[in-house]
Each structure stands twice: as C-alpha cells, then as structure tokens.
Structure 1
Amino acid sequence: MTRADVGILHPGSMGARVAAQAVAAGARVRWLAQGRSAATRERAAALGLTPAASTAELTAECGVILSVCPPAAALDVARRIAATGFHGVYVDANAISPDHMEEIAQVMRGNGARVVDGGITGPPPREADTTRLYLSGDDTAVDTVRTLFAGTLLTPVVLAGPVGRASALKLAFAAYNKISYALAAEACALAAGHGVLDDLRDLAAHLLPGTPLAAPEQLASAGARAWRWEPEMREIADAWRDSGLPGTFADAAAHTFDRWRAHKDDRTVTSDRLIADLMPPQPDERR
C-alpha cells in the first residue's frame, strides 16, 4: 500500500490549523481520535480531517507524520510512532531544545525514518505572511515537507543543516517574544502594588507602543496560552544551559506562566486579573 496521506498529532489550536493548510494543498490528513476530547473531534471534523482508528493504522496510511503537541509530550509521541515501525518522514514541529530534538531523531531513525526538525513561528495560520515553518534535517525529507506546504498560509523556510537548527531558531525567537509578556506582567505588578499602574501604561504607550507593557489586551492574551508557554520556557532554559548560558530568565518566566495555569484557554481573562495573580494576597485574603 502506498502511504500517501499525512498524519497530524494532534489537532489542537496550532496543529489543527497546520493540518488545515495541508488539506488546502490537496493532502488527505489523518489524525488519531483515540482519547481526544469532543472539542478536538469537532475541530478535526470541521477542518476535513480523517480519523484513524489506531496509531498502527495512522502510520500504515501516512507517508508524512507531523507532531505538533505540547513540548513535554514530544518524546512520548515520537516513541509511540516509532514503536509501530514507521519509516516515512517524521516532522517534529514542537518547541523543544536542540538536544531534545536530536534525542527524538535518534528514536525515529531506528526504523529508517527520515527526520525533519520543524519550528513554527507566529500564530495558527489563518492569514498570509503571519506564520512560518522553519525546516532543517534530511535534505530529501525537508524538501518533501516544503513542497507539502508551498503556496499555503503556512510558509515553509528551509534552513541548511542538521536537525536542531530549526528548534534553536524557534526557541531563540520565543525566548525574546514570550518572556517579554512575563516581564511586562511583573513590571505591571510592581506598579500596581504602588498605585501607579495606569501611569506605567501611559508611559509605555508613549515610549514603547505596541508592546505588552503598553497594551493591556495584548498582555491579557498570554493568560489563555500560559499553560503551553510554561513548558516551552523549560525547554528554553535547557537549551540555554546546554549552550553554556544561564537559563534563569526562562526559569523565571516559567514560574510566572505557571501562576496563570488556571486560565487555560480562557479568552475572557483580563490583564488586571493576570497581574493580580502575581501579587501577594492582601491581609484580609490570608484569613
């Protein structure tokens, strides 16, 4: 049987939109429905994804498998796919350190799979020129993935070199971009504690427009995503330390994002609520 389909693990908010671009390009995209929520099933159906009954069926039908999942699950996902004997093109597009990417590559190569390191930057692809998929690794496999997404809303960008390069670029960008949200929230918490939060926002709007510090609605958007950003910060900390750099910035940001875990996928949370979560309880709240 020719394995012409594409598999996606798993169609969450980012994975679903990545899969939708493959569908738009003419691929049949399969996903593993076992154990997934009703919301995920509805999302997959709406995007035209085809359910697979098992991991074995998924790997038997698909020549390319895309892993888009929380960083902490990336290695387990790779091991489950490798256990089926998959020997197609495996794309790990998760926010993991270069060392962790190499570990996954070793797992997948045991069956002869060709491995592509993928780094997604930007929001889930819904508009042109907003989201890129950086690719490095096996040249032939990289070209397969580049061709798959060419002309879609997910722009493939090839980085010459081995696995690890795309992951390094992804984490370097995420370090600056996402830690800025944690830093803005901590700065706002300091200002709020001294009654000058509005003044800080006015100052930031004057000198730092377009930043999370200046735009409460932009800072608020981090609340719903913090549960995913916290493990990403751990990966960034590991990557920095593996490179001989201190990982303390990322450690601190991970702690901040962990304070917002209760707001998972809550699009209504406000920046004031996030700031309050960082502040010590008031005397009457300690009773």
Structure 2
Amino acid sequence: MVHADVGIVHPGAMGARVAAQAVAAGARVWWVPQGRSAATRERAEEFGLRPAAGLTELTDRCPVVLSVCPPAAALDLARQVAAAGFDGVYVDANAVSPARVARIAEALAGTGATLVDGGIAGPPPRTPGTTRLYLSGDAPAVEEVHQLFAGTLLTPVALAGPVGRASALKLAFAAYNKISYALAAEASALAESHGVLDDLRDLAGHLLPGTPLASPAQLAGAGPRAWRWEPEMTEIAEACRDSALPGAFADAAAQVFARWQAHKDDGSVTAGRLIAELGGTGGPSGPPRHS
C-alpha cells in the first residue's frame, strides 16, 4: 500500500477515476474545490478526495501532483503550479503534443520540480486491463509514479527515454482510434444521404465488426466526448506537422468533433443525431430515416 499525499488538478471524468486509483492504493489525494462545478464536487466526494483550501496548500502538502485536464489548459495549469512554488514530481497526464510537453518543462524549469510525461490510453479506469498510464522522463520520478498506481485498475507502463515519449505514444494511438469515429460518422452521413445507411452497417458488420462503422451504439459514444476529442485532434495535428507529417486527417476530425460540442456528457445522444449534424440531412433520397 502507498501512504503518500498526492494532489490532482482537476478531477473531471477521467481525472477523478485516476485519482480514485491512487486512493485505492492507499494515497491521500487532495484537490482544490474552489471554482469547480457541482458535478466535479460530487465526483471528488464519491472517490474520497480531500479538499485543499487552494493551490498553494495543495502544492505545499503533496510531493506528487497529477495534472489531468483538457489539452488547451495543460500549459497554463503547469504555470500556475510553478507559480505556487511546487518542487515535487509533476505528472502531466494530458493529451498534448511533445512540443507542448517541452513548453510545460520550460514552465517548471527553475522551480525544483521534476516533470514526468504521462499518457493515458483507454477509458476512465473502472475494470482491470482496460486503461494504461504510460510514463517517461526522469527514471526515479517515473518509478515513484509507477509505484503509486501499481496493482490498481490503472496500469502504469514506464517508457525509457525523455519527456515527450509518453505523449507521442498517446497521440499516435488516439490518432488511429479517435479519428476512426470521425471517419465512421462521415461515411455514415454519405450513405444516409443516398439511402443506404442500413446496407453500409450490414456490410461493415460482415467485414469490419467491432468498429464504429458497424455499431450505431459505439458511434454514439463519441458525442458526449467530442468536446474533449476536438482539442486533442489539434494536438495531434501539431505533433504530425512537427514530425514533417501531414496533419490534415486530425484537422478534419477536429472539425467533425466541433459540430458535436453541444452534446458534452450527454449519454442520450444517438448516432442518427450525430450523423444528421454532419450535414447528411439531404441528398437524393431526402432526409435521414434513422434516429
């Protein structure tokens, strides 16, 4: 069992589940309730997180701080933690590009803090074997974080090498996995505009079973998460261009997910609604027939 004080900023749907695994391992996990939503407060209470009066108290109390937030907020949050005087192990476990990780390292430079690059692959950890936390950077700090989650539902995996490697792996996997949802939605919208969506799903069920193209329920799952996936696509596009690769696939996927922003955390949205919102509401066969 781990007996340590760990801070987390900020426990959203993913962050709260990550924090819960540290609690399960025996850590005392602290967070800052100020300015957070009622839903976030409920999650924190549900998973046994302890309230800190502010960011300074959290950073003074905790030798390890986890950052799990939307990609666009990652750099600013690291700057806030640095300004609070944190000098422990800072784990950036966000879906950001290696270039942004480098800027986060610059923000922490001179504070005494040690940056560990983290990449979460998989859904919020609820069951064994579904979710991994990849870690890279300073070896002793990586080992400290590895031990924090060892034996929990969040499987830690250490990568040899500097910060940036864990984020690169995370984005490379997300590029394939999440862009496939955007492709499935666009292919479905095209088929719907010509009245052959049922036939497309039948074909995909035979040749591509287990994919969003074959399963309306699976495709619908992208709607509530699109608000997080859209900025992640921006990070992927940046990472691709930094590697002299075309980022157009990620740019296009970002445009798809941006159309679904209104469905944030809406578990009732259907695949038909998402397809219609891509503009597949007309065509030779008229409006879409599917709900």
TM over 0.5: yes
Q: Deviations over 1:43-95 (max 9, x none)?
A: 10111000111110010100000000000000010000000110000000000
User: 2: CA distance between counterparts of 1:280 and 1:196?
Assistant: 12
1:122 aligns with 2:122: yes
Q: Specify the alignment match of 1:75 in structure 2.
A: 75
**Contact 1:97/1:168 (<8 A) preserved:** yes
Dislocated runs of 4+, deviation >3 Å: 280-285
Determine the structure 2 residue equivalent to 1:274. 274
Query: Would you say 1:66 and 2:102 are equivalent positions?
Result: no
**1:12 Cα deviation after fit:** 0.7
For the aligned residue pairs, the C-alpha RMSD in angstroms reads 1.5
Q: Does 1:178 pair with 2:178?
A: yes
In the alignment, which residue of structure 1 is the partner of 2:135?
135
- Could you list the per-position Cα deviations for residues 138-168 of structure 1 after superposition, in whole angstroms to 9, with x for gaps in the alignment? 1111010001000111000000000000000
Contact 2:90 2:116 in 1 (8 A): yes
Aligned pairs, number:
283
Distance 1:247 1:111 in 2: 34
User: How much does 1:109 deviate?
Assistant: 2.5
C-alpha displacement of 1:108: 1.2
The residue correspondences of 1:204-223 to structure 2 (distance < 5 A) are 204-223=204-223
Larger fraction in helix: 1
Correspondence list, 1:18-33, <5 A: 18-33=18-33
The corresponding residue for 1:160 is: 160
**Which whole-Å CA distance do the structure 1 matches of 2:67 and 2:9 have between them?**
5
Write out aligned runs for 1:1-287 (5 A): 4-279=4-279
Determine if contact 1:4/1:61 at 8 Å carries over to the other structure: no
Which blocks of at least 5 consecutive residues in structure 2 are unaligned?
none
Identity %, equivalent residues: 73
- The one-letter amino acid of 1:267's match is G
Long gaps (5+) in structure 1: none
8 Å CA contact 1:132, 1:154 repeated in 2:
yes
Residue type matched to 1:64 in 2? V
Q: Helix, strand or coil: the match of 1:119?
A: strand
Contact kept? 2:188, 2:200, Cα under 8 Å: yes
Shift of 1:281: 5.6
- 1:159 maps to a residue whose letter is L
8 Å CA contact 1:125–1:131 kept in 2: the answer is yes
Instruction: Return the TM-score normalized by structure 1.
Output: 0.96
